[in-house]
Amino acid sequence: MVAFLGMGLLGSNFVRAMIGKGEKVQVWNRTAAKATEMEKYGAKAFASVADAVRGADTVHLTLKDDLSVDEVLAAASGALKAGAVIIDHTTTSAAGAVKRTADWKAKGYTYLHAPVFMGPVNALESTGFMLVSGDQSVIASNEAALSKMTGKLLNFGEETGKAAAMKLIGNNFLVTFTAGLADTLALAKSMHISVSDVSALFDNWNPGAMLPGRLKRMTSGDYSKPSWELNMARKDTGLFMDAADKAGVKLAVIPAIAAEMDRYIAEGHGGEDWTVIAKDKLP
């Protein structure tokens, strides 16, 4: 028996996929209507967290944050089956994942943090990526079940909490990538360039393909052979801001990048490759 706590877009589709594979699933959600909605797919909904987890061998969670995970698990604790496995797919802090792993182990339960790079469609279709790390014997015993939920299970080794950290790193990239696209569209607007023209540019020229090479250059520590000097990149950044300012269009990300460029130029790095702005940020 499986219990699933949190019937948002991701959790509800995970449950639908599980039922489609023949699993019996008990569900709960803070807003009860979202849980009862799942009964039309074959789930059994409960108004109480404790009732939802009672008898379940595995308890899955897709909640909001560390606080909500701790609150919901505290409400469930008195009804958990002896030896139950708790699989938490919530995006949380790494410290929170480490603490919960230790705390629940001390109580006699297995807690495994398994965040995902999956949207609702991925959850329904069992595609995308799921991340795990920590006790390898725990991961091995749950690998088959978790692999059924995702396209690829990524194991980041024995360090508890590393999966949580990798999830945050990935989400940080998604946030900055999307914010950068928003600024790109804002600049296009300021120069009366249509979205279709922007799309046509990126249909032909895919800067995303440069990511591995760019990461390698940024982390090499050698910025002495520039392909684009920081001074020139800063000049172009000024052109972006000037065009947007004249059109009354707000850029959210570029001004902060310009300020960072100015700091490095003031420190004497203007003639180096512009990726030198990563120099002080390397792990």
Q: Label residue 178 by pLDDT band (50, 70, 90).
A: very high
Q: Collapse the DSSP code of 129 into the 3-class scheme (helix H, G, I; strand E, B; otherwise coil) and give the result.
A: strand
Centroid of chain to Cα 200: 28
pLDDT at 47: 97
CATH number for region 166-281: 1.10.1040.10
> Domain locations in the chain?
2-159, 166-281
**Dihedral, 115, 119, 121, 122 alpha carbons, nearest 10:** -40
pLDDT at 75: 98
pTM over 0.85: yes
Rounded alpha-carbon distances, angstroms, from residue 215 to 42, 89, 212, 264: 46, 28, 5, 19
Per-residue pLDDT tens over the stretch 183-232? 999 999 999 999 999 999 999 999 999 999 999 999 999 999 999 999 99
CATH architecture of 2-159: 3-Layer(aba) Sandwich (3.40)
